[in-house]
Amino acid sequence: MNDRHTIHRVLVALDASPHSRAALKAAAELAADLQAELLGMFIEDINLLRLAQLPCAREVAYATRGIRAVDSQRLENTLRMQAAQLEHMLATVAQGRNVPWSFRVSRGHVAKELLAAAEEGDVLVLGRVGTSVMQRTRLGSTAQTVVAMARHTVVFLEHGVELGVPVLVLFDGTEGAMRAMVTAARLTRGDERNLVVLLASDDRDTQQRLQQQASSRLAAQGRGARFCPLAPGTISLINAVKREGGKALVLAGDHALAKEKTLADLMRQVRCPVVLVR
């Protein structure tokens, strides 16, 4: 994943939620930028299909609040219809950006299927799953699994935010941070002013050391960046993203923030896509 030439596919999980549409758009942009293929996945939840076959299967509808039986056949139809709609949406978005695309429907556990489909060098783009009434302090179960298990770079977005520039990367000198910075540099659309490296330390000497380390690594690739010192702590990170008007926050996959509980909180507060680089 460290080498740009290894990225050949952007994988996006699709469902009918607005988050998923935002994810698709971002994935298409990313694929266009990286000249990669776009693979859209619609995963039919196996648990839901099983439920539909139970005699006690009933659902509480969002809109009418009425309780009604879940009909297996109707569920299958609905899923098929959703798949067709999503494929159409994918085709429209991908063709609009001239990106080669494919669409795949599978059945099983969403996260597992997604991870199973992902290969070496893929980037996963994930809209937050679910409806507006749920999930604030917690990621959806899919996202949880992906965060925990993915060996790939993952982009998390939600409805209303767009992936773009400037790109901010949290740099603390670790190898993971180094990889994150290199990936972030690829998202800047060729303009180094769009990359902001946040030097995570309140010690001036350390900051200088980190800056040297980062700039020499970027220089080796013929790139540059702006550097900003960053006091430790989530609050200062959030403020930095807001101040810079960040349109992407890149974190090392092994960073302390890149955990299921903290990540959800961070995403909610920064209101910008978060990229976990592994």
Report residue 98 CA to chain centroid gap: 21
For the bound state, the minimum distance from the C-beta of residue 240 to other proteins, rounded and expressed in Å, comes to 15
Binding mask 55-94 for other proteins (x = CB under 8 A): xxxxxxxxx-xxx--x----x--xx--x------------
Among 51, 117, 238, 257, binds other proteins (CB under 8 A): 51
Number of shown-chain residues binding other proteins (CB under 8 A): 33
Among candidate residues 42, 43, 73, 38, the one with its CA nearest the CA of residue 57 = 73
Cα separations (Å) of 79 from 44, 104, 128? Answer: 7, 13, 19
Positive or negative torsion for Cα 240, 242, 245, 251:
positive
Among candidate residues 92, 99, 73, 69, the one with its CA nearest the CA of residue 21 = 92
In terms of CB distance, is 135 or 208 closer to other proteins? 135
The verdict on 160 binding other proteins (CB under 8 A) reads: no
Report the chain's terminal Cα–Cα distance, integer Å: 7
CA distance 87 to 119: 21
Among 91, 134, 219, 235, binds other proteins (CB under 8 A): 134
For the bound state, the minimum distance from the C-beta of residue 57 to other proteins, rounded and expressed in Å, comes to 7
For the bound state, the minimum distance from the C-beta of residue 79 to other proteins, rounded and expressed in Å, comes to 7
In terms of CB distance, is 62 or 205 closer to other proteins? 62
CA distance 56 to 64: 20
Binding region for other proteins (CB under 8 A) = 16, 45-48, 50-51, 53-63, 65-67, 70, 75, 78-79, 82, 130-131, 133-137
